[in-house]
Structure 1
Amino acid sequence: MAGLGCLMVFVTSYLDQGREAHDLALPCPAWMVPAPRLLPRAAATSTAQTQPVGSGRHIRMPSIFAYQSSEVDWCESNFQHSELVAEFYNTCSCLKNRRGLNVPISEVEKRFGGLGPFSLESLAVHPEVGAPEKAPRKGCRFPPLPPLLTTPSPRPPLFQFSNVTFFIFGPLMMFLMYPYAQKRSRCIYITWILFMVIGLFSMYFHMTLSLLGQLLDEIAILWLLASSYSIWMPRCYFPTFLGENRPRFTCLVLITTVVSTFLSFLRPVINAYALNSIAVHILYIVFQEYKKTNNKELRHIMEMSVVLWAFALTSWISDRLLCSFWQRINFFYLHSIWHVLISITFPYGMVTMALVDARYEMPGHTLKVRYWPRDTWPVGLPYVEVRDDKNC
């Protein structure tokens, strides 16, 4: 929506560029009044704390929609490249003009006196901090914008597009795994839809650092894990009181996930650690199945899944615990690397669980691991090809 608002501003400006500035005396819409100047969260908080007691000013608690309302903040500096995007490299976002060149948001702010509903006044914790220095104008006089930039701005690293892989791998894996889903279960499509939803919510979270974005991102991950458990968990690992009844196990997973969803609102700051702890149980299952099989293909895909997950987790932990070190060397992209690696790890993990599951649920079929775009390439996206067992 913010990008759409900025686009509307640019289109309006260029349509009126041929008119003289003094000819424009239109009533200002409410969203075009000057927005309060932005203050970092720390500055706003310190200013609010210095207000004398009884001054009549009250601290407003930020809503879950507000920018930086989440307690979770990653190592990347906030609002360094855009006044609309909190963590630029952790978000797939870039405002461009009609020639495809980066346009500074500050230029829009300067010319139009704020972006109205798209401004970041919610950054200030205190409602009185950063009030407009002058009253809103009665008439709108928009001088023509300067000529479009002719020099492209520095191209950001590839990690700017860290969430795009979710939207590429999701539909691609749905297409590649279509024959397998027809044989096993069409519920597999739910996992890939949730996979793409995670990419969308992750972009929203890192763009705003809002509590709502954090909860949406983490709850989507929780439900993705729940759907994977329900589909691919081998029956021999079911709780003993369920026997080997998959519908009962699915009901248990559903109830547990619903309860966990509500619990995630109590202490959101620990949600990410709780989700990562689930990987310990998944690793236990992979290790047990690794010992049971002599299939080299299955062992290779298991090893690749674990290695990719280990690199991804290392990036995530390093960004959380060693932030001061990475800031000293001006390297803020570890969480972006986490996005890329974990989006590659999931296809490998899903193929691993599909191969393990086939040993229990598809005895009349043989699953062959293939790689897109070609099997002969050193790097590829894994998927399974279903073959009927002629001996059955």
Structure 2
Amino acid sequence: MAGMFAYESSEVDWCEDNYKHSENVVEYFNTMSSFVFFVVSPVMLYLFHPYARERNLAVHLVWLMMIFVGLFSMYFHMTLSYVGQMLDEISILWALAIGYALWFPRRHFPFFVKDRRTFSRMVLAITVVTTLSSFIRPTANAYALNCFALHILYSLGLEMRSCTDQRALRLAQASVGLWVLAISCWISDRFGCSVWQKLNFCYLHGIWHILIVVATAYGSTLVAYLDASCEIPHSLPSLQYWPRDDWALGLPYVALRGATKTRKGC
């Protein structure tokens, strides 16, 4: 049992040189870059609160779970332990599951699912089974998690086909662009390590951390906006950016210009 907590007990090792900057931290930059989760997540919790209060306070669980993702990511890269790897990957899985349960469009539910409560229970059951299955072949977990991202992109593409809101379309483009950059860094670090080592630039996985958090902020805001437009249209949702709406860069959020609990199913 103690061996599972031991340094470098995981079969996964990223491209960054181990113990280069500290004898107590295996991958220093990968560990430090995980701090971005603790910067972005609290801000998104704050920005999402008006929407969550009107729609469902469980929305806050997405960004609360992202804080845990950051915590476990730091622990994993600091130790490269088996337990750290599993905590990191399982927390990502549960963050995805919460997002699916809250935001997956009702019109795309399986034919045998009639309401969101039933769908959420189905997602919970699948997530429990997947969590247990993740211990069978841990080296495959990261690839399986990225497959969920492909399904999210496909589902988002279906939703955006009928969208005419220019802000939403630009946000979709930015979200996909950030994800493409992020996954390119992840793949390059995983499979092109020898090239980056020759260039003495082994920090792509840390850059992935930064890009994927921002991509998650953009993507979750987009799906929350689509959800609000469908489920609580009388609250008059709109897309805005923090800290200033007229800045080219910022964190997006759903602003509600009206306030009502009237529901309209989609």
The one of 46, 54, 58 equivalent to 1:175 is 46
Is the Cα–Cα contact under 8 Å of residues 87 and 206 in structure 1 kept in the other structure?
Answer: yes
CA distance in 2, matches of 1:90, 1:241: 43
RMSD of Structure 2 on Structure 1 (CA) = 1.5
Change (3 A) 1:238 1:388: same
Change (3 A) 1:389 1:179: closer
Q: Which letter maps to 1:177?
A: F
Q: Which has a greater percent of helix?
A: 2
Is the Cα–Cα contact under 8 Å of residues 90 and 206 in structure 1 kept in the other structure?
Answer: yes
User: Does residue 301 of the first structure (1) align with residue 171 of the second (2)?
Assistant: yes
Give deviations 1:248-268, integer Å, cap 9, x for gaps: 000000000000110011100
Q: Which letter maps to 1:65?
A: F
Aligned residue in 1 for 2:88 = 217
The one of 87, 104, 108 equivalent to 2:27 is 87
- 3-state SS of 2:21 partner: coil
Aligned residue in 2 for 1:385 = 255
Is the Cα–Cα contact under 8 Å of residues 62 and 69 in structure 1 kept in the other structure?
Answer: no
> Aligned residues: percent identity?
49
User: Does residue 195 of the first structure (1) align with residue 66 of the second (2)?
Assistant: yes
> After superposition, where does 1:260-271 map in structure 2 within 5 Å?
260-271=130-141
CA distance in 2, matches of 1:328, 1:270: 27
Q: Which letter maps to 2:162?
A: K
CA distance in 1, matches of 2:2, 2:143: 24
1:91, distance to aligned residue in structure 2 (A):
0.8
Is the Cα–Cα contact under 8 Å of residues 189 and 204 in structure 2 kept in the other structure?
Answer: yes
Change (3 A) 1:86 1:289: same
Aligned residue in 1 for 2:193 = 323
CA distance in 1, matches of 2:12, 2:236: 45
Aligned residue in 1 for 2:204 = 334
Q: Which letter maps to 1:321?
A: F
1:331, distance to aligned residue in structure 2 (A):
0.3
Give deviations 1:118-175, integer Å, cap 9, x for gaps: xxxxxxxxxxxxxxxxxxxxxxxxxxxxxxxxxxxxxxxxxxxx11211011111111
Q: Which has the larger radius of gyration?
A: 1
Q: Which letter maps to 1:367?
A: P
1:62, distance to aligned residue in structure 2 (A):
7.4
CA distance in 2, matches of 1:220, 1:323: 26
Q: Which letter maps to 1:231?
A: L
User: Does residue 281 of the first structure (1) align with residue 151 of the second (2)?
Assistant: yes
CA distance in 1, matches of 2:163, 2:26: 47
> After superposition, where does 1:93-242 map in structure 2 within 5 Å?
162-242=33-113
CA distance in 1, matches of 2:119, 2:211: 30
> Structure 1: where are the runs of 5+ without partners?
1-60, 93-161
User: Does residue 75 of the first structure (1) align with residue 27 of the second (2)?
Assistant: no
1:389, distance to aligned residue in structure 2 (A):
8.1
Is the Cα–Cα contact under 8 Å of residues 54 and 259 in structure 2 kept in the other structure?
Answer: no
Q: Which letter maps to 2:44?
A: M
CA distance in 2, matches of 1:182, 1:208: 39
1:194, distance to aligned residue in structure 2 (A):
0.4
